[in-house]
Amino acid sequence: DTAVSQTPKYLVTQMGNDKSIKCEQNLGHDTMYWYKQDSKKFLKIMFSYNNKELIINETVPNRFSPKSPDKAHLNLHINSLELGDSAVYFCASSQDTAGTGRAFFGQGTRLTVV
């Protein structure tokens, strides 16, 4: 039973489109995250939500907007996609806001913008 699941796993889209990546965790965790992994494998946090409340919002373009309808879901919506948005996006969750508990990651969504 998958702990953190992301859909879709692969996403190919044209520049200018709007797309969403969904994330769900069935662990009962309070905190969820979105990370972006660039072509050099560097992982950088984008957002963090705790109990549906935005906690961390790193410097990402306004085109990226997280949506947390409930504690178990944190979706990532991207408007007006650009070539530079091509990357692998990871969703994660952890029990506490400090991230000190074990963080579970999804399998990632490979976004390709053409």
Partner 1 sequence: AQSVTQPDIHITVSEGASLELRCNYSYGATPYLFWYVQSPGQGLQLLLKYFSGDTLVQGIKGFEAEFKRSQSSFNLRKPSVHWSDAAEYFCAVVPPRGYQKVTFGTGTKLQVIP
- Contacting positions for partner 1 (CB under 8 A): 4, 33, 40-45, 48, 50, 55-56, 58, 90, 92, 97-100, 102-103, 105-108
Task: Please name the residues in contact with 84: beta carbons below 8 A apart, sequence gap of 6 or more.
Answer: 113
CB of 62 to partner 1, least distance (A): 20
CB of 29 to partner 1, least distance (A): 14
Residue 66 is encoded by which pair of tokens? Answer: 């997280």
Return the number of the residue (9 or 63) whose C-beta is nearest partner 1.
Answer: 9
CB of 15 to partner 1, least distance (A): 26
Give least dist CB 56 to partner 1, A: 5
Nearer to partner 1 (CB atom), residue 66 or residue 106: 106
Give 18 or 53: the residue with its C-beta nearer to partner 1. 53
Please give the sequence-ordered ranges of beta strands (E in DSSP) within the chain, or none if there are none.
Answer: 4-7, 10-13, 19-25, 31-37, 43-50, 53-57, 64-70, 73-78, 87-94, 104-105, 109-113
Cβ(51)–Cβ(62) under 8 Å?
Answer: no
